Amino acid sequence: MKQPENTGWFVREHRIEYLAPAFLGDEIEVRTWIAEWKRVRAQRRYEFIRKADGKILVKGETQWIFVELTTGRPIPIPVEMLALFPIVSEQTDSATSIP
């Protein structure tokens, strides 16, 4: 599915919890998933994990608002887009990993 023309995402809010430090040379895996869809917004959660010991270093979430770019006004997220990214209520293997 192609995103409708003249639409985009604005960040409304970030929440980040730093749980442990990362060090030079650490290999970090980032996991991300959609936790919630509302009419005009999406909540994406993420974790940063140190690969050597599996320790979660960072947990966070970002609230995104779908907008019409010329007006900046929120608009409903297309149903086709919702279908492409299913909700994952908690981090599982369904989350997308970025090594």
d(CA 12, CA 72): 12
Class of residue 33 by CB neighbours under 10 A (exposed 0-12, middle 13-18, buried 19+): buried
Cβ distance 65 to 40 under 8 Å? yes
**68 DSSP β-pair partners:** 7, 73
Over the chain (99 residues), what is each successive 10-residue block's mean pLDDT? 85 98 97 94 96 97 97 94 83 52
For each of the domains in the chain, give its residue range(s) and CATH number, in order of start. 7-89 (3.10.129.10)
- pLDDT at residue 21, rounded to an integer: 97
- pLDDT at residue 92, rounded to an integer: 54
